[in-house]
Amino acid sequence: MPHDRLAQRRPEAGLALALALAVAAAVFAAVFLCGRAVTPDYTATLFGRSDADAMRLKAQLATGVLGLAALQLLLALWMYGRLPGVRRVPGPVPVTHRIAGVVLFALTVPIAVHCVRAYGVQLTGSRAAVHSIAGCFFYGAFAAKVLLVRSRRLPGWALPLAGGTLVVVIVILWYTSALWHFNGDSVPLLSLGGGAFGS
């Protein structure tokens, strides 16, 4: 690539990254402030289910999200040629990656809405705080990734980093909610001070 084109690409890539980070921070702040402003309603329902039934359904949906995140990671590694012994990328792989991403996001929405309505953003108790912050961060990171996907002038590491970050956040969210529920309201390292916060 000629030097002048490379010089032009760097500021454009920097602008795209700065915009993605600004959007991520704005979405994080909006979700966080909204969650902090909510008065928790522990009777809130999820698809007509409440209390333990709602928590069980959320844990099941969150496990589906985790499975889709694993599929997303596998498909991304395939597309980027990082799967050992796999050279060819069939046409359906990128399409499946996009569809799985849309379904994953759609599954998170009812979970998040119920969490915000029922519990808000709680900072009391290690598990609740980690889960709340990770939930806010997820939507900021997702918004940033959507912007990065549409940019054609990014450094090669930007999109894999954004996607990998989302997978890690989903694992944290699942660990602090679904696993907590399935494991009798307990997870290693974060079981103390959970408060009333559900999964």
Angle (CA) 18 76 175, round 5°: 80
User: pLDDT of 156-194, one tens digit each?
Assistant: 788 889 999 999 999 999 999 999 999 998 888 775 444
Q: Record the tokens describing residue 109, joined without a space.
A: 């929405």
- Indicate if the pLDDT at residue 132 is higher than 90: yes
Q: Record the tokens describing residue 191, joined without a space.
A: 């079981």
Structural domain spans, the chain: 12-182
The Cα–Cα gap between 83 and 80 comes to 8
Burial label for 194, CB within 10 Å (0-12, 13-18, 19+), is buried
| Residue 24 vs residues 127, 143, 146, 147, 188: alpha-carbon distances, Å | 23, 6, 10, 10, 29
User: pLDDT of 65-90, one tens digit each?
Assistant: 999 999 999 999 998 888 888 888 88
Burial label for 77, CB within 10 Å (0-12, 13-18, 19+), is middle
Angle (deg, nearest 10), helices 126-150 and 3-37: 140
Indicate the pLDDT class of residue 112, thresholds 50, 70 and 90.
Answer: very high
Q: Record the tokens describing residue 38, joined without a space.
A: 């909510």
